[in-house]
Amino acid sequence: MLAAPAASGAITSHGVAGLRAHDAALAAKSRSAVLGLYSLDEQLASAQSRLASLHAQQQSLRAERAAVAHQLAVAKHGTQISQARLGARLRQLYEQGNVEPLEIVFGAKSLDEALTNLDSLSRATGQGEDILRVLTAARASASSAARTLASKDAALADATQAAEATATALAAQRAARNAYIGSLAAQRRLTQQQISTVVAQANAARVRSAQLARVSAATAAPAPISASSASAPLESSAPAPQETLPSGGSSITVSATGYALPGRTATGLPVGWGVVAVDPSVIPLGTHMSIPGYGEAVAADTGGAIIGSTIDLWFPSVAQANAWGRRTVTITLH
């Protein structure tokens, strides 16, 4: 009954409906994926903006740390200069022997000179101490600011690292989503090609069936009936009687068997849902029929085992063919 590898896909509206449903599901997935991509784009833009802000803060913090470091260096240098000057002044006083206030008073020639010398000594000592206090406070303030800035710098580095990780992860998710959308588009193109192929096969099957019906009608000739045989009874091996329906169709009770073999039919059409193998002496090739539990079909194949009121129905899987099995049904021919 079958002689060549099967063509892919079904040749009836059943197969087209399934492919179109699959295409609609792919389209829904694609729309959902595109919406997800928009969301990822917004998140990625926000993460990149956050990262740019953190980088700007790092630049500003580096400038502040450089300024504080400069202030600390200046304070240290000033402290060293002030300490050197104060030491020089104390050495000078020691060398002059005017270190003790009493010696300054007794060594003065007048009261005004003693008061002036005491005031000079106090002012020199106080200035040195004031400078040292100011410079010490400046060093302490600069050191404290440096520690604060170092802490801020560490926290900013952690935040920057986290923002970079987030941006990298979002970029990877965006790339994966783009690849997924591309794969859905490829699947939709393949499905639409399959739909076009199935529709073309279905149209070819209808044309071929119509041609076979015309050829069968043109070549069929009624058998001559002799006078002696006109009143003879019908033999028991004759096909099952067909009943004419009010709508112009006819019905016939047949034994229908399911099969799932690949290949091509005797008429050259590829197997598919709706292809039925028949005995042409009972059901002419090209005849359309309605089969309860199966649907619309066309007589497009023959076989050595198909004799009399017997038909074979094609199924896409062995499981479906086994589920059908062999059953007696009354079909409608039209």
Low-confidence winner among 43-47, 48-52, 68-72, 181-185 (lowest mean pLDDT): 68-72
Q: How is the chain split among helix, strand and coil, in percent rounded to 5?
A: 60, 10, 25
Instruction: Provide the terminal-to-terminal Cα distance of the chain, rounded to the nearest Å.
Output: 24
Assess whether pLDDT exceeds 90 at residue 192.
no
- pLDDT higher at 198 or 88: 88
Query: What pLDDT is attached to residue 36?
Result: 84
Which alpha helices (DSSP H) does 97-110 contain, by range?
101-107
Query: Between the CA of residue 15 and those of 89, 226, 266, what are the distances in Å?
Result: 109, 50, 21
pLDDT at residue 145 is higher than 70:
yes
Instruction: Please give the Cα distance from 255 to 277 (Å, whole number).
Output: 12
* Total number of residues shown for the chain: 334
pTM: 0.41
Sign for the pseudo-dihedral over CA of 102, 107, 112, 118: negative
Q: What is d(CA 316, CA 301) in angstroms, rounded to the nearest whole number?
A: 16
How many whole angstroms separate alpha carbon 237 and alpha carbon 30?
60
Tokens of 255: 């034994």
**Contacts (Cβ under 8 Å, ≥6 apart) of 198:** 9, 10, 11, 15, 16, 19
Q: Which secondary-structure segment (H or E) carries 89? A: helix 13-96
Cα–Cα nearest to 316, from 3, 77, 14? 14
Using one digit for the tens of pLDDT, what is the confidence trace for 82-99?
Answer: 778 777 776 766 665 544
Bridge partners of residue 259, in order along the sequence:
314
DSSP string, 261-299: --SB-TTSPBP-TTEEE--TTTS-TT-EEEETTTEEEEE
Residue scoring higher pLDDT (86 or 140): 140
pLDDT band at 216 (very low <50, low <70, confident <90, very high): low
> In the predicted model, is pLDDT for residue 77 greater than 50?
yes
* Residue 111 Cα to chain centre, angstroms: 99
Mean of all residue pLDDT scores within the chain:
78
**pLDDT per position as a tens digit, 250-259:** 899 999 999 9
What pLDDT score was predicted for residue 210? 66
C-alpha 214/C-alpha 219 separation (Å) is 9
* For residues 138-145, average pLDDT: 84
In the 3-class helix/strand/coil scheme, how is 195-217 assigned residue by residue? HHHHHHHHHHHHHHHHHHHHHHH
